[in-house]
Structure 1
Amino acid sequence: MSQRIELIATSTAGLEGVVKQEVMDLGYKNAQAENGKVIYTTDYKGIARSNLWLRTADRVKWKLAEFKAVTFEELFQQTKALPWGEILPKNAHFPVLGRSVKSTLFSISDSQAIVKKAIVENMKEKYNVSWFDEDGPAYTIEVSLLKDIATITIDTSGEGLHKRGYRRLHNVAPLKETMAAALIQISRWKPNIPFIDPFCGSGTLAIEAALIGQNIAPGFNRSFDAEEWGILPQKIWDDAIEEAEDLAEYNRNLAIFASDIDDESVKLTENNALEAGVHHLVQASQHDFKDVRSEYEYGYMITNPPYGERIGDKEETEALYRTLGRLTKHYFDTWSVYVLTPHQQFETLFGRKANKKRKLFSGNIRVDYYQYFGPRPPKEILDREL
């Protein structure tokens, strides 16, 4: 079959534009953003490169087909007609997931069963057997029905792309790695500018900044389901890894600081940074955020401070936001400050109206990303190496 394929990079609501830019930066200029996803055309190499490099996408799915289906017979026949025998080996493990929104075929379980049956019937003809053990590589298939249009995909990633492989331990309410990377991308932080997170938790923001700062592929230290697929030559993965090694800038100096009042959080940050291979780049320390200072005149503070759901005390949370506003005004007035919080009165508490605000979702929580732009640093600062 042709190597030209269509991929879907799934996205958290509100981050579609960020994911699209990442896809285009990989060279796939035909990317189209839709609700919760970015669709683009590539080849088999694109499966490896997308999984290795996309920092803000949730998963990479291979789109096999899209067709109208208002009856189970239509769903069955059009699914069965796909070239499953060319894609799935005889021992493939192929669970079928399902979704249905505003569609005649509203029963998700029935749609899953029909798709599974269609694939099995196709493979019976291909392999001339009546039973499949499914003890081989994973090919997680999804049938997604939206307004009677069925989309058939295979998940190439396996575990979600936020599973970088470095965060074996985390605190109570960790920020997903993909969201942390997106917050940094949105801020347009540059590696030659100092970075501070005064509420570091398990260190996700600081570690993602370090990976971005040295241009280290976020998927470099993990595996993906598609690596085990016979249809994808090993050379594709070898070449993608080699490209990632060549593009990494391991010698670039960074000034990344992470602190927290909780000693256990600081230890988590240090351990996770070690697992990520960036422990020498992240300077973690125990501080009450009120005591955080910097020797650098210009920089970026990007943080996800505790909020009511986590510390269970609205008054304490609001006092924290007021203090953060005073801290940044007095000691970081030439810095750009970015804060993620669900508190609708954050600007009032912080004491300033944000230059920009972006609606996002962290897990199931509606949050806003408040962006306060500092003055542009002089050219000699922008051009320097740390």
Structure 2
Amino acid sequence: MTAAFAIPPCPGPVPDALPLAADAPWLAPLAGYSDLPFRLLCRRYGAAVCVTEMVSAKGLVYGSPGTGDLLRSLPEDQPLVVQLFGAEASFLGRAAALLRDAGYGWFDLNMGCSVHKVVKQGAGAAMLRDPENALDAARALIAAAGPGRVGFKLRLGFDESHRVCNDLALRLQDLGAGWITLHPRTARQGFGGVADHEAVAELVRTLSIPVIASGDLFSARDGIACIRATGAHTVMYARGALQNPAIFRDHAELLAGREPAPADPARLAALIARHMALLRRFASPEHPDAAVWKMRSVVPRYVKHLPGAKALRLALCRCHSWDDVHAALTQALGPLPADIEE
């Protein structure tokens, strides 16, 4: 059983267990963002586990272009969970078997993505409309990966009239799921409204396996409050990490009873310099400009609370090289550290 391309081997070593505790926050799978440089940046600030961007099971089996790039990793990028998406049990099982052969040890199946191009394939949150197929897919994935080695990312249901989360999670637990991650909104809500963290607490009371909470965790204070209110084993930071990759450090500080250091220009300069160094280090030889474009898109999230953020965003839009980016950042934030640790 081989894919049409060589799956990058997992650099390992793969741990025998994943940390699932209040002091071990996870980085969520973020399509277009949680690439290797961003994962390493978040790990630098304390992310205990990182999840890859969504990998198409069918794309992996057929060797679709770009699929291998999503799996690029390093030994220091562990523990790493590979998130798969797809609605067909046969492809999910084959994809997991291929990844296991390549050394990967931990997996997640996305049953929560509400993006139209995923839902129209019957994948992501669309799987919540057909729980029996979702269970068939889970059964194939767990059979290939091993009991306890697969987690499932859920929403409450596809819409308010079909809240299937608790029943489906119980059945997934019975099949051998290792953990459940819940974004407590329906697919119809997208990111609208307010995340229902009481639903997370209810799921915690329902299951005997770990529950990871997600949704509206924009700061470490949100994450700590969510754990304390729901009993979730840990949290998965998504949009909060996009705005502040140091959210994991802040999480640790709050747990220890200390006040996190403010994100002043000097600290932001260090964070941005680290991200820039990582993007340059792992830039694709075939597409060297792509890393510059990525930098132009991520920096405005980091600095939006600072005076002059709009001017920096406009300056970055005119950048076409690393020298341009460095000059724009230096003008806005002051000198960037030259000997920054990646």
TM-score by length of 2: 0.28
Q: Which of structures 1 and 2 has the bigger CA Rg?
A: 1
Larger relative strand fraction: 1
For normalisation by structure 1, the TM-score amounts to 0.26
The structure with the largest helix share of the pair is 2
